[in-house]
Structure formats: structure tokens, C-alpha cells
Amino acid sequence: MITGAASGIGRATAIATAARGGQVFLTDIAERGLEEVAAQIRESSGGAVSYVKALDISDYEAVLAMAEEIHVAHGSLDIVMNIAGVSAWGSVDKLEHRHWQRMVDINLMGPIHVIECFVPAMMEADRGGHIVNVSSAAGLLALPWHAAYSASKFGLRGVSEVLRFDLRRNDIHVSLVCPGAVATPLVDTVEIAGVNRDDPRVQKLVRRFESRAVSPESVADSILAGIEKNRYMVFTSRDIQIGYWFQRKFAWPYELVMRIANDQLTAVGRRASWQDS
């Protein structure tokens, strides 16, 4: 099962999984993109696309109905990948309630719905298995303006950490994927609350982000390698791995770096606000 399969990391992972002989079950809220990736898999690799359904993973009843359809027709699954996600950034005075709510509904409750509906059947089947939860560098580090996004991604990290041990006796492994910059459509669509994205200073930051971004295909390879090697923490770029190590080994220098980064971004945000544009 792969959520968020219509674009970005989800799409690349679906294609890579099918190319390796995986029988894939795909979902995403974007119906057209979902149909396109399913057709691409069938035409290019002859992969087994066993199920395709467009739905919103924040809708528990929809996820439950999907799980029931799959379990009746195919039985329990072996691997479940929670990849679907959205992002919004901004300082706490600019973020609106809808930003916080959307982050939690999709990035945290969405994976929880999938886990609720698919993992008990995996446990009952007693064949083992693997759960992949895509968190973020923002689920490890105190990135500026990421409070709402981090709330959801740190939450998913907590769920993963507990399930890692809870499901060990069932031989169900858990991988927590922590991407940094990835060249996906999310880069162009992420909402920055209260900031004019067309401001040259903001565009400069976006270009800097894109210059460090890895491809979705590279992330997909990291995810599949993590499954094959039963890795819990899966890093998709070296910078995030180093940053996480630095945070744990050098608490005070880490705090200083985060303060400086926050001050710099806040200065850009003040000059690029909608009010000043």
C-alpha cells in the first residue's frame, strides 16, 4: 500500500516498487495523477497494480472502506507506506488555525488511519511485514517557521518509535523516513503564511532550497533499501543525517545555529510580508 502515489516521493516509490516486482495498491487525493501513475506502471514495467482509489486519507471512514475492499479481495498486505503529506510554514502570529488543523489531519491522522485499518490484519496474518512512515527533517530538527508542520511530523515520529517496539514480536518492522530537501511539486505549492512568495528575497531562499534537493527517485531508492535492510531511521540525504547527529552530540552549538537560522529567516519574512509588498 502506497499513499500519496500520484506525485513526488509517492509516485517514484510506486514506480520503483512495481519495477522490483511488487504488487502495488495505490491511493492519493489527486485522481487524475493517480490514474496516470497506474497506467505508467502497467505500460512501462508490466507491474502488478492491484488496486487504485482516489481518497482523502484524513477521512477515516474512506480509509476504512478502502481497507475492507482490499482485505476481502486480497487479504492482508505485507508493506504499508505512509507517504502522503502536505506542508505550510509561517511564524506563529501568521499561521491560522486552518494551517495547524490541516497539518495534523493529513500528516498525522492520515497515517494513523492507515495504521488503524491495515496493521491489525498484518498482525493477524502472522507473516511479518513492514511499515514505512515518511516524516521529515522537520520531525527531527527545530527548523524555523515549521511549528505546524513539525507538530505533525514529530507526532508521526513518536508513533513510529512506539510501533517499532510494539510490533517487534509480530516481526513487523518500522522505517521512519526523514527527507530533507526533495525536488517535488510541494516546493512550488507550499504555503508560507503572511509572506509574498514572489518577493525576490523569498525566491532566493527557494532557489537555495532547490539547489540542495535530491530527486524523488533517489528518495524512493532509499526507502526500498531501508525496507530490505530493516532500517528504522532512513535518511535520504547526508546533510540531514549530519544535522541529527550534531543535534544529539552538541546541544549548545545546535541551539546557537537554530537561533541564527531563525533570526535570518524572520528578517527576510518581515521584508517580504504581504503588508510591505
Residue pLDDT, tens place only, 120-176:
999 999 999 999 999 999 999 988 889 999 999 999 999 999 999 999 999 999 999
Residue 177 lies in a domain: yes
Q: Are 186 and 144 in contact (CB under 8 A)?
A: no
Helix (H) or strand (E) holding 27, with range, is strand 23-28
Helix (H) or strand (E) holding 2, with range, is strand 2-3
Q: What are phi and psi of 178, to 5 degrees?
A: -125, 80
C-alpha cell, 151: 507538530
Cα(236)–Cα(223) distance, integer angstroms:
8
Eight-class DSSP state of 168:
G
Which residue out of 51, 60, 149, 254 is catalytically annotated?
149
Residue 119 lies in a domain: yes
Residue 277 lies in a domain: no
Can you give the pLDDT at residue 190? 73
Q: Are 13 and 27 in contact (CB under 8 A)?
A: no
> What pTM was estimated for this model as a whole?
0.87
Residue 156 lies in a domain: yes
Cα(272)–Cα(261) distance, integer angstroms:
17
Residue 166 lies in a domain: yes
C-alpha cell, 159: 508513533
C-alpha cell, 145: 517557521
Can you give the pLDDT at residue 183? 84
> Residue 232 catalytic?
no
Residue 204 lies in a domain: yes
Can you give the pLDDT at residue 197? 64
Q: In CATH, what number is assigned to the domain containing residue 231?
A: 3.40.50.720
Query: Which structural domain, as residue segments, surrounds residue 169?
Result: 2-271
Residue 276 lies in a domain: no
Residue 259 lies in a domain: yes
Can you give the pLDDT at residue 196? 67
Q: How many domains does the chain have?
A: 1
C-alpha cell, 214: 535530491
Can you give the pLDDT at residue 277? 41
Residue 91: Cβ within 10 Å count: 19
Can you give the pLDDT at residue 192? 79
Which residues of the chain are under the pLDDT cut of 70? 45, 185-189, 196-199, 201-211, 268-277
Q: Taking Cα atoms as reference points, which of 243, 118, 113, 114 lies closest to residue 178?
A: 243
Q: Taking Cα atoms as reference points, which of 124, 138, 106, 125 lies closest to residue 209?
A: 138
